[in-house]
Amino acid sequence: MLEAGELLVGQAFAVLHTTAHCPEQIAAKVEAQVLPGGAQLCPADLRRLLAATVLRVESEQSDAAAAEQRHADAAAERRTFSQPGVDGMGLAGAVLTAEQLRTWSAGLDELERTERAGDRAAGIERTADQRRADLFAALPAMVLAGRAGNTDCASTDITPTIVLNVHVPMASVLDLSSEPGSMDGHGPVSAEHIRLLRPTLLRRVIVDADTGRPVAVDDKTSRVAADPEAARDQVLAMLRPEVITDTAEPQHDPSTRLSRLVDLLDVRCAGPGCGSTRNHRDHHQPYPQGPTAAWNLGLLSARCHAAKHSGWTLVRHPDGSTTWTSPLGRTYSRPNPHRPPPRVARDTEPPPLRPPPTGTTPRWVTAAEPTPPVPPEVPEDEDKGESNLPQPPPF
């Protein structure tokens, strides 16, 4: 496909990198399912589609015990590292589990926002990246200072309140499907990995059965029962019919309830290749001509929002996909960020619960299902490969 001009270099690298850990037969199945249709996607979106397909194919063919062992072996490799650099600089980092990585990243973002306000008050000029680097370097000293200031170190809780949003089909929770879920800011997570998590709260999201697009989200969360059987009953109780209406609001800025739905609809900025999670809730049809309603709102980063008002045209399609047209007429497509939920007969009974693996206390772990390994996280460079396009977008 690359030789025939049907695939760009950046897209080819996306295929190679995402399937690098796969056995040959699984890699071939993934390519057959994703290509050639995926050749219409930018490299960043193609990587996400490939990652989800790899998890699904591996889940369908893997041995549960072997998959759990791979999870444990991978988690055992977590570590930190540091090394000197040039010009008085150095490099430091860590290899973490997906949950640890997202907790760390979300916490650092929250600290950076607080630091930003202090910089403004003090007249200090630092970029967001510089603030994050300074905070990263200061974190051990901050923790030690917090412990030193408390006479009972054992009772000191220094863990910030961080929310990790994990989206998972109910069929996968109930062990009726191997469809992977996703973690905000991280990407696809295998069904087996999700069953090994220990969530504290549940929030129901009602989606369109054909597209997977959210159409409503519960206002309140419910605390997960400690008993696995009771937790499963909680999930089953959410499977009730609802009448959904997209009611417009009179004001410009959406309410908290509507904002929550809009954030779930787009997940991230709708610009092709843009992975920003710090976005504006943009009216597609400008307010007040266009209402403040879910169908007329979407997420755009500051850069993509500016592009929309600087000659670029954005079209949002009913299935959740978007099409951008540059001032010179070139188009860029972005697919629906959601996948349709698995099709399961209404009268299908979930399999019996099985004992949790040694050393874990998961809420939902069910009887023998092929389980996938979690592939190593490949850092995403959202701009990688875009330079190969004849007219790259400003994203």
d(CA 375, CA 29): 16
**Cα–Cα distance for residue pair 324/331, rounded to 1 Å:** 5
- In the sheet where 331-334 sits, what is the strand order? 313-316, 322-325, 331-334
pTM listed for this prediction: 0.66
Nearest to 42 by CA among 385, 361, 317: 385
CA distances to 152, 159, 263, 338 from 156, rounded to whole Å, are 7, 9, 34, 40
Per-residue pLDDT of the chain (395 residues; tens, 9 = 90+): 989 888 889 999 999 999 988 888 889 999 999 998 888 888 888 999 998 998 888 888 776 666 677 778 888 899 998 888 877 788 999 999 888 898 898 899 889 988 998 898 889 999 999 999 999 988 888 888 777 666 554 444 444 556 778 888 988 888 888 888 888 777 788 888 888 777 889 999 999 888 899 999 999 999 998 888 888 888 888 888 778 888 899 999 999 999 999 998 888 888 888 878 788 999 999 898 999 999 999 999 999 999 998 999 999 998 889 999 999 888 888 888 888 888 888 778 888 876 665 544 444 333 333 333 334 443 444 333 333 333 444 33
For the stretch 81-107, what's the b/e string if a residue is b when 16 or more beta carbons lie within 10 angstroms of its beta carbon?
eeeeeeeeeeeeeeebbbbebbbebbb
Tokens of 70: 């791979």
Q: Which of 49, 30, 33, 40 is nearest to 8 (CA)?
A: 40
**φ/ψ (deg, to 5) at 297:** -120, 150
Q: What tokens does 234 get? A: 């909680």
Report whether 42 contacts 334 (CB < 8 A): yes
pLDDT computed for residue 209 by the predictor = 87
Which pLDDT score is estimated for 355?
65
| Predicted pLDDT of residue 32 | 93
| Phi and psi at residue 121, to the nearest 5° | -65, -35
Instruction: Output phi, psi for 179, to 5 deg.
Output: -60, 125
